[in-house]
Amino acid sequence: MLRSAIGQIQFARNYTLELLDSIPREMWFAIPNGLPTNVAWQLGHLTVSEYGLLMFRLRGREPEDLELIPGRFRKAYGRESVPSADSTKQPSADELLERLATVHERSLAGLEGIDPAVLLEPIEMPYAAYPIKLGGILFCPIHEGIHAGQLGVLRRAHGLPPVR
């Protein structure tokens, strides 16, 4: 089940990156009329979420996590945060992509060789899918797919043709 989840996580990320590559960076901070979000927020949110689902929930917070996902980043892109079109008050597109890649790389490295018994350990609310650590792993690609869909809608709102 873990191998399958890792494959789905990688598939979802590859699709997200395909979408991001197809959206000009000058559009990333623009919030299209009638929509409550932008590409930059989606990217920051995926970063915070993957950290939460695949790192924090599995092993807790490590000292280096405060640099990886500082509080201001979590507040800007976490659940219930409000997307901003002001690019001067956010990391650049390159910085957002770099942080996304770093969290993804570290998340997958943490899953390699994980003791299967750890995956069955219970976790408290809020949890995803199941009230065990494996639940976050299983939910991660579903969550990313939801946001890939939002990236697709953003592409269309910016007048771009569908990718697939």
Each residue's pLDDT tens digit, 52-102: 999 999 999 999 999 999 999 999 999 999 999 999 999 999 999 999 999
Each residue's pLDDT tens digit, 88-141: 999 999 999 999 999 999 999 999 989 999 999 998 877 777 899 999 999 999
Which fold, 2-157? Answer: Four Helix Bundle (Hemerythrin (Met), subunit A) (1.20.120)
Residue 33 has pLDDT above 90, yes or no: yes
Q: How many CB atoms lie within 10 A of CB 133?
A: 21
- Band (3; pLDDT cuts 50, 70, 90): very high
